[in-house]
Amino acid sequence: MSCTEPRPLVHAHLDGELDLVDSLKAEAHLGECAICSRAYDGGLRLRSSLRANELRFRAPGDLRRRVRRGLRAEAKLDAIPRTAWRRLSFGTAAALAAALALLVWPELGRRGASGPLIDEIVSAHVRSLMADHLTDVASSDKHTVKPWFDGKLDFSPAVVDVADHGFPLVGGRLDYLRTRAVAALVYGRQRHFINLFVWPSEEKEPEEASLARHGYEIVHWRQAGMSYWAVSDLNASALAEFAALVREKVRPQLPSGSGDPAGTAATSPPAEPGDRR
């Protein structure tokens, strides 16, 4: 890769839009080219500045309540025949879109800016592949991996064995998300790797959430006071199968009476890992 290639490639790498091969080439070039390295560092500083709290807008509570009431009223439109929808004005559609934006995005901001957190999770996954640092402890034995975390974290992650379903344990490592130390459990699937990030969370949410970001599939859920994020380049159905297997294996490990709060999973991203309670 030379500097004669388009400069937008640096920004594409910064945004996590490159595949693994091009990301490796970009990292190698950044290590050799001072000009591109300065541009990349400038982009990192800009992104950090844009995440500052003073640049975020949180809608007042009374506004969110009014929007919710408006949405409940609009829900009655579901009973309108399909032909009647064609008579809805553009203004009505725009108002509905604006109401949804006001309701959803401030709420996500309150929970800790889901977008940046998800970007960090994907970046941590990619870094582990690029730097050849998938594991700090390499073992397929959960009885070796789980004790390794003792004394390194302020919690004990559940480590399960799902090798009999085609997802062998590869090992584990320490990782950091928003300055909070988290457990990264690594599983394999043929030639693919899954990073399962785990940290404590007191949030209570309903069903499981699945999403895609920068070409990677992500499944998030909460279980027994822990937040789980699985990320991989596997297809969505394979990663969902992995998540379901882990949830089933974790449940028998829960202490008696601990329960499994709020259906064990989440539709909304959690508070940032740095938010200790």
Type of residue found at 85:
W
Q: What angle do CA 273, 276, 277 make, to 5 degrees?
A: 135
Q: 166, 175, 130: which is closest to 25 by C-alpha?
A: 130
Query: What is the per-residue pLDDT for 219?
Result: 94
List CB contacts of 76: < 8 A, sequence separation 6 or more.
Answer: none
CA dist 255 and 264 (Å) reads 15
Query: What is the per-residue pLDDT for 141?
Result: 96
Query: What is the per-residue pLDDT for 17?
Result: 76
Query: What is the per-residue pLDDT for 122?
Result: 92
Joined together, the tokens standing for residue 49 give 């500045």
3-state secondary structure the chain: CCCCCCCHHHHHHHCCCCCHHHHHHHHHHHHHCHHHHHHHHHHHHHHHHHCCHHHCCCCCHHHHHHHHHHHHHHHHHHHCCHHHHCCCCHHHHHHHHHHHHHHHHHHHHHCCCHHHHHHHHHHHHHHHHHCCCCCCEECCCHHHHHHHCCCCCCCCCCCCCEHHHCECEEEEEEEEECCEEEEEEEEEECCEEEEEEEEECCCCCCCCEEEEECCEEEEEEEECCEEEEEEECCCHHHHHHHHHHHHHHHHHHCCCCCCCHHHHCCCCCCCCCCCCC
CA dist 184 and 173 (Å) reads 5
Whether the CB-CB separation of 122 and 16 falls below 8 Å is answered with yes
Query: What is the per-residue pLDDT for 23?
Result: 75
Joined together, the tokens standing for residue 6 give 């388009």
Q: Mind listing the pLDDT tens digit of every residue in the chain (277 residues)?
A: 456 554 566 767 777 777 777 777 777 777 788 888 888 787 777 777 766 655 566 677 777 788 887 777 767 655 555 554 455 444 555 455 444 444 433 333 333 334 788 889 999 999 998 867 899 999 999 999 999 999 999 999 999 999 999 999 999 999 998 778 999 999 999 999 999 999 998 776 545 788 898 889 999 999 888 999 999 999 999 999 999 999 999 976 655 444 444 444 444 444 445 544 4
Query: What contacts 24+ positions apart, CB below 8 Å, involve 40-46?
Result: 40/10, 40/13, 40/14, 43/10, 43/11, 43/14, 44/14
List CB contacts of 182: < 8 A, sequence separation 6 or more.
Answer: 153, 174, 175, 176, 197, 198, 199, 273
Query: What is the per-residue pLDDT for 198?
Result: 96
Domain ranges of the chain: 8-53, 57-110, 114-264
Query: What is the per-residue pLDDT for 101?
Result: 42
Global confidence as pTM? 0.54
CA dist 225 and 270 (Å) reads 11
Superfamily of structural domain 114-264: MucB/RseB, C-terminal domain (3.30.200.100)
Q: What angle do CA 173, 49, 111 make, to 5 degrees?
A: 60
Query: What is the per-residue pLDDT for 18?
Result: 75
Whether the CB-CB separation of 269 and 108 falls below 8 Å is answered with yes
